[in-house]
Amino acid sequence: MRKEAKRSQNQENSKNVLYIGGSIILIAVIAFVIAFITYGNKTEESNLNGGKIATLVQESENNTKTTSTQTGKTVEEAKNEMSNTTNTVNSESNTKTKVENTTSGTTKKQTTTTKATTTKTTAKEQSNTTSTQSKETNSEPKEETQNTQEQQVTFIKPVEGEIVKEYASDNLVYSETLEEWTTHLGIDIKADKTTVVKSASAGKVKSIKNDPRYGLSVIIEHPNGYETLYSNLLSTEFVQVGEEVKQGQSIGTVGNTATFEIADDAHLHFEITKDGKTINPTELIK
């Protein structure tokens, strides 16, 4: 009984061992299969990733080569362009320099020619000016002589009589009328009333007026800027304004109309001016 029981127990234990061993083997097989499948998937993924990586690496290399080629070309082209640009600039600079030199030379030549022409023109003008001046200088004395001969002015005494009051522009003479010492810019020639007064020189009657100081007066214009004044007149019926008169022609009569000389005897107040300045009549009367 004990042996059978022991045998039965051993058999049972053997079965248990087989079961356990089979289970272990099964588990190992399953684990192997799972591991194999997992490894296979990983290998495939790795291959795929490796292929992709290889493809990417190949594309990168190709791109790098292309980029490098393009860059190389670009650099070379840039160098060539820079070289061409430099050559062009140098060529333009040389051309510009030649043009400037040519222009400068032309300008200098033109300037020299202009200066020479100007010098010649100036010399001609100076020569012509000198010649003209010489001609004018040579002709001036003749013209002046002719003018002097043509316009020579002489004066005569406008009325016969004694000079009772002299010309005094720089010194004073006593005035009986004003009872004071004053200048006297003409001469007083004593004459009776109604004595005929004559023109001292040929000329044109400029004006006939009743002066508040010198009374009835006649002014005659003469050549070369001369004028004569006849004052203290009684009448001027012989002439009129604008009339041409000859030397010695009657122009009026002696009176006593000058308020500044009313206290003096009857006389003719006579003045001569040249260009507006008074002159001593006795220096010009012949």
pLDDT at position 5: 63
DSSP 204-234: EEEEEEEETTTEEEEEEE-GGGEEEEEEEEE
pLDDT digits (tens, 9 = 90+) for 219-271: 999 999 999 999 999 999 999 999 999 999 999 999 999 999 999 999 999 99
User: What is the dihedral sign for C-alpha 159, 162, 168, 174?
Assistant: negative
DSSP structure class, residue 281:
G
CB neighbour class for 249 (10 Å; exposed up to 12, middle 13-18, buried from 19):
middle
pLDDT reading at 11 higher than 90: no
Distance CA 120, CA 148 (A): 41
pLDDT reading at 57 higher than 50: no
pLDDT classification of 58: cutoffs 50, 70, 90: low
pLDDT at position 59: 53
Distance CA 31, CA 182 (A): 165
Output phi, psi for 151, to 5 deg: -110, 25
Left if phi > 0, otherwise alpha if psi is -120 to 50, otherwise beta: which for 184? beta
Distance CA 235, CA 224 (A): 28
Can you tell me the mean pLDDT for 72-92?
A: 48
pLDDT digits (tens, 9 = 90+) for 262-282: 999 999 999 999 999 999 999
Q: How far from 139 is each of 131, 144, 146, CA to CA, in Å?
A: 12, 9, 11
Q: Hunting for tokens 């300008």 — which residue is that? A: 107
pLDDT digits (tens, 9 = 90+) for 141-153: 444 444 545 578 9
pLDDT classification of 109: cutoffs 50, 70, 90: very low
Helix (H, G, I), strand (E, B) or coil at 124: helix
**C-alpha closest to that of 3 among 52, 189, 11:** 11
pTM: 0.49
pLDDT reading at 17 higher than 80: no
In Å, the largest CA–CA distance within the chain is: 223
pLDDT at position 55: 55
Average pLDDT, the chain: 74
Q: Which CATH fold would you assign to the domain 163-283?
A: Glucose Permease (Domain IIA) (2.70.70)
Residues 6 or more apart from 169 whose CB is under 8 A from it?
183, 184, 185, 278, 280
Write out the H or E segment, with its range, that includes residue 277. Answer: strand 277-279
Distance CA 56, CA 59 (A): 5
pLDDT digits (tens, 9 = 90+) for 174-212: 888 888 999 999 999 999 999 999 999 999 999 999 999
Domain ranges, ordered by start, for the chain: 1-109, 163-283
